[in-house]
Amino acid sequence: TSPNSNHNQNNADAPPSPPQEYKYFHEAGFSLELSHYDARFFRGPVPYATHRAILTHLIRSYLSTFRVTLGLETWLAHGTLLGWWWNGRIMPWDFDVDAQVSGATLAVLAERHNGSMHEYTLRNETSGRDETRVFLLDVNPFGTKVDRGTGENAIDARWIDVETGMYVDITALMERDPENSPGVVSCKNFHWYKMEELYPLRETVFEGVKAMVPREFEKVLVDEYGAKSLVVTEWEGHHFDAELKEWVK
Amino acid sequence: MAQGVIAQMLPGGRRRPSRSLTFFLMGALTLLTLCLFTSHLPGLQRIINPSTPGSGDVQVPGEADMTSCAAAAAPHHGSDGPGGEDSPELQAPLDSMEKETEYQLQDHPMEHKTNKHPPFKDDPPQLIANLPQEHIPVYTPPSPTDGPGGGEKKTRGKRLVVVGDVHGHLAALRALLDKIGFDHRYGDHLIFAGDMITKGPDSKGVVKLAMDLGASAVRGNQDDKVLAAAREIHRHLVDDETGVGREADGETDHAAGEKDRENDEAGTEKRKKEHAHRIARSLTRAQLAWLKSLPIILRIGALPDATSPPWNANTLVVVHGGLVPGLQLERQDPWAVMNMRSLIYPGKGKGKHHTESASDEDDNDGNGEEDDAEERDDETPQSNKSTLAPDAVAVPIEGRDGEPWSHAWNRYQNRLPPSVPHTLAIYGHDAKAGLQVNPEVDISPYASWSAYSSGGVDYTINSNDITNNNNNKKKKTKKKHKQHKQHKHNEKGLRYAFGLDSGCGHGKKLTALIIEAGPAGVGHRIEQVDCRS
């Protein structure tokens, strides 16, 4: 295969990407608010008061399904990792969730689980009733490509709540330049990591379920958000309450 | 009569001053006396003392309970105050007075002001373990009944031997123990400051020797890594052999076999051939269990025969990475204690930061501090001064971007009043810093550093913001050389943090700190051997 080929895969078993790249995932809009919904399942913005319950359901279903049903490894990333660091929960102003997988895991997703739907039942803490939600695992056909291509497909897969269109952004870390940068993995969104910063992953808890975080989570957070992110307790109109260990408005 | 007195004082010899003048002067005198009297009340000292560092708010003793900890630990910016160079010294008596008052308060809520992430599965069963009393070095004078033969060894007394990061160098460890004539049968007790394994040639041998000698140890970050690797390859404890009971929360991992196959296909096979995994595989389950049982902090307690500071400290502890000054041992974060090298403090920036007086005064404090900071920056345009409230929260980090935690620790211990319990820490982990045992240390305030207060890095947490992340990466590399400006006026103090990682893992030296009780009290000495791969 030529260096510019779209068929440059991470795993030979994964289905080949379409020859002509196009933007696969579409958000409901470009505003900060609308950009966190999958356009196909968007029915209207979810208000602040109710969005947390949906996000909790989203991340629990994602982490549990991956671990128990699919038997695949994934870990928290970006804003979600920062939320874990502060109090093990999604930060209230977040409207999506970020997770990472290895390139090899993505290939397995693409080949065996693309388009799969999963039910997950959770007790809604506010209403006290059990809720069952349905989630779609949608793999970007350009996800398994190693190069970034046009840049329109920086997200490799999504775990989508079909009722609201809210989702978990899944990006795959691959060794994209083994000759010049051995042992360095990256996503298509300009995040680089040394393998030893990630592995072996640490098993912990997030939003009440088992979750994995990178080995050097503190370095990863400081590299991405600056040391400030670990100390500033006023953020996005919220304040980190010392007693409650919660971000309150 | 008063009028007569006043009359004599007045120039020009006026014989009869007016009544109103008399009353005025009497009133003024009374007021002055009242002021002098009340100004000596301790509570008001803070109000009138202009060199009190920190926010513009008055700190009433009751509310600012946690501030003492961070206050002593955090850098003072008194060097910029009205007193100039002298102000830190002028401040010292007042600070220690404040601290004495504040330290008496039970609650040290520094933890409340910082994060609390969920625990790790790999965390040890206990954060702190106490060294059994029988190992505490006590001087036993030679008894006349001892014969000429074995008298020497028996009357030497028990020694505590704390060894830095061994990193699998069994030969060097043996050589070191031989050099000091270590004999656990005669009461010598060995303590490892973590990182017994990985990097060197015989991790398994080191663990075996440690267990055979009945040694104590604390968990280091490399030990932690091997335990994580062991978990990944399902090497923990007996339960895991059958696969039953592995999921503590009751979820049956029915896809376990499937999971292994998937993961193996998903490239984890390659990772499982790495160093940490190989070591995890080479250790027996009993050895892994021993490693897993090690605490994060080993508390030695007090040495009864110690007569002078620092060894007469109320508590001696052994940790691998470090400790946050002013925070109770029970509240230290396990990851931080294993990994920290330096401490960062909130500086000014785009986000309002949180100073640690009463929670409902947050906004005022934040603004006040920022205003002060801006003023100071105007006065001294050359220097990158970031103002840090003395009650700034210290956040431990693995990197070296902040103040070395041992500096903050030494400063904090030295500033404690003699009556308040002191803690002496022995640690490893920092091979780059190397051996840190000089009895005299610099406890100057850590004046300033510009790690993240300058540069205007945007801290918007938005994963879709590609440019932001890109800029972060670029700015991070530029700021690799941090300026750690030390106060010109060097304050000296006693060392309360002893660093023993002399780079054995890198083929340098292995160090032992030997604590022994002799007729003159408790002493310590350092012994070293070379580590050859």
Residue-by-residue DSSP string for B411-450:
HHHHHS-TTS--EEEEE---TTT--B--SEEE-----B--
Q: Do the chains contact at A232 and B469, CB–CB below 8 Å?
A: no
Q: Do the chains contact at A82 and B461, CB–CB below 8 Å?
A: yes
Q: Which residues of B touch A118 (CB under 8 A)?
A: none
Q: Do the chains contact at A87 and B115, CB–CB below 8 Å?
A: yes
* Tokens representing residue A141 in the block: 């056909």
3-class SS shares of chain A: helix, strand, coil, % to 5: 25, 25, 45
Collect the ranges in chain B with pLDDT lower than 70: 1-17, 38-113, 145-157, 235-272, 346-392, 447-489, 533
B353 to chain A, any CB pair closer than 8 A? The answer is yes
Q: CA-nearest residue of chain A to B394?
A: A231
Q: What is the DSSP letter of B485?
A: B
Q: Which residues of A touch B345 (CB under 8 A)?
A: 231
In this structure, are residues B259 and B184 in contact, taking their beta carbons and an 8 Å threshold? no
* pLDDT of B15: 56
**Helical axes B203-212 vs B275-282, angle rounded to 10°:** 40
Which of B89, B97, B104, B64 shows the shortest CA–CA distance to B443?
A: B89
Q: Which residues of B touch A193 (CB under 8 A)?
A: none
Residue A24 has pLDDT above 60, yes or no: yes
Q: Of A100-109, A149-158, B177-186, B440-449, give the lowest mean pLDDT range.
A: B440-449
pTM over 0.90: no
* pLDDT of B489: 64
Work out the minimum CA distance from B127 to partner chain A, whole angstroms.
17
Q: CA-nearest residue of chain A to B280?
A: A200
d(CA A134, CA A48): 21
B263 to chain A, any CB pair closer than 8 A? The answer is yes
d(CA B162, CA A8): 54
Q: Do the chains contact at A231 and B346, CB–CB below 8 Å?
A: yes
- Residue from A95, A231, A245 to probe the interface with B (highest B Cβ count within 10 Å): A231
B107 to chain A, any CB pair closer than 8 A? The answer is no
- Residue from A95, A148, A233, A247 to probe the interface with B (highest B Cβ count within 10 Å): A233
- For residue A72, give the nearest of B256, B262, B345 by CB distance: B262
B258 to chain A, any CB pair closer than 8 A? The answer is yes
ipTM above 0.95, yes or no: no
Between residues B479 and A179, which one has the greater pLDDT? A179
Q: Which residues of B touch A243 (CB under 8 A)?
A: 112
Q: Which residues of B touch A66 (CB under 8 A)?
A: none
* pLDDT of B368: 34
Banded pLDDT at A83 (limits 50, 70, 90) = very high
* pLDDT of A16: 86
Q: Do the chains contact at A202 and B120, CB–CB below 8 Å?
A: yes
